[in-house]
Amino acid sequence: MEQDFGKLDAIISAYRGKKGVLIPLLQEAQNLEGYLSRPVLKYISEKMNVPAAEIYGVVTFYSMFRLVPQGKHIIRVCKGTACHVSDADGIKEALIENLKLEGGQVTTQDMQFTLMEVACLGCCSLAPVIMVDDQTFGKLTPQAIPGILEKFSF
């Protein structure tokens, strides 16, 4: 099936011919679908006349770029020291169990949630901590996880 690159074309047009625009261009392109698919990267490479290897170098270097689709809600589990010693592993296990993630899967089947580990979230006194999108939840127990997920399941 031919992919419609209309919106991507508009973004590319705004940047074409300018220098040092690859990162902002890729960020805007990512905003269209939440990630950068292979066809999108190939298209950008062709239209911007930038070698694919250079583009892959950029998107794999910067952690803000995503090469696979992500869930509607991003759950960040803090694995910093304070959280680690406060049973962050138990919190992560409860998340995996409640989200029914299997075999290292990080995104739920229904694309509602993506689970990731991060270093210190900067609120160690609340350990163990998770963030769901931009909301922080601290002093957690595994038992609190279903109620938190419930808030975001609609």
Least separation, in Å, of the C-beta of 129 and ligand FES?
A: 5
**Segment contacting ligand FES by CB under 6 A, of 31-39, 104-112, 122-130, 142-150:** 122-130
The nearest distance, CB 118 to ligand FES, in angstroms, is 8
d(CA 7, CA 143): 44
- 120 interacts with ligand FES by CB under 6 A: yes
Residue type, 83: C
Angle at CA 67, nearest 5°, toward 78 and 71? 55
Let me know: does 115 contact 106? Beta carbons within 8 Å: yes
Number of residues that bind ligand FES (CB under 6 A): 12
List the interface residues with ligand FES, window 46-105 (CB under 6 A): 78, 80-83
H/E stretch holding 135 reads: strand 135-137
Interaction site with ligand FES (CB under 6 A) = 78, 80-83, 120-124, 127, 129
